[in-house]
Homo-oligomer: A and B are copies of this chain.
Amino acid sequence: MANTEAQDRTSQVVAGRVGVVGLGLIGGSIARAMARGGHEVYAFDLNEDIESFAAIETTSGTLTDKLVPTCELIVLACYPKACVDWLRGHAALVSPDAIVIDTGGVKRSICEPCFAIAREAGITFVGCHPMAGTQFSGYAHSRANMFAGAPMVVCPPPEIRGVECLALVDRLEGLLAPCGFDKFTVTTPDRHDEVIAYTSQLAHVVSNAYVKSPTLALRQGFAAGSYRDLTRVARLNPTMWCELFLDDADNLSKEIGTIIDSLTQYKEALDAHDGERLIELLAEGDRIKRADEKEAEV
């Protein structure tokens, strides 16, 4: 009977039909890009007004339980726990021919339960993290070209390997083509969370901390590009980032510790008026940054 049900769901898939769960900045941008690319997009959002608004300009309507088996691609673009909850509640409706992805900023806490749920239900879940976004949240700020040229990091289920894994990533790249991602990087949830704690989460913490100096109040007329760049992402959605940070607390705490240690070295050199040491510290950072820029060009 389970087999018949699964076959039934297979037969229902409509090629290229997309389901989007969560119409925030990321979900909204994916919905727009896919719709612009000619895909039929159905979306669900807890906020009915947003859903209605999107249905007027972007989507073909609400992603109902009845439509779930007809989607070839389902994008979970909500907070980490909500992604897992959605998949747990809907796995039995998803077609074995579909690919379900999430777009969350952490991967361990999403992929581990979602891989298990998908395995159990005989469906395919791939953890995804599009490396794009802005300091603004919500559907109102979403746009079809949000991901143009951006990298995409993907975590396929660990049991899918080799040629089978390449084929799965290829198929996903094809489905997401209208988003215009630049390059798909395959990694594990562990490695993702280790790196993202540094490249994204730490940036948000440092930026958010930067604006807390009492000297900020005096800055009018004094701020150049370096201040603007350092504080751009100080503005953030506290609830969402808190969930991401707690899910990656081990890695992020380590990175904060590392930068505190580094900053302490500059402070000590300054307090000792040790110019030689200060030049050494600055030259080291300059050298690392130049090498990093060179590598990025390759």
Contacts and interface: CB of A to CB of B under 8 A. Distances in A.
Q: For the side of the interface on A, what is the size category?
A: 35 or more
A34 B161 CA distance: 64
A55 to B, nearest CB: 30
B253 A260 contact: no
Contact of A209 (B208, B238, B266): B266
Given A206-B263, A253-B270, A289 B235 contact: yes
Given A204-B226, A218-B195, A246-B275, A292 B211 contact: yes
A196 interface: yes
- Counted per complex, copies of this chain come to 2
A176 to B, nearest CB: 16
Interface stretch (A45-53, A71-79, A96-104, A279-287): A279-287
Given A211-B292, A231-B289, A281-B208, A198 B224 contact: no
Interface in A248-298: 249, 252-253, 255-260, 262-264, 266-267, 270-271, 273, 275, 278-279, 281-286, 288-290, 292-293, 295-296
B270 A263 contact: no
B231 A263 contact: no
Given A234-B289, A253-B267, A259 B210 contact: yes
The CB with the most chain B CB atoms within 10 A, among A131, A213, A255, is that of: A213
A221 B283 CA distance: 26
A212 B131 contact: no
A3 interface: no
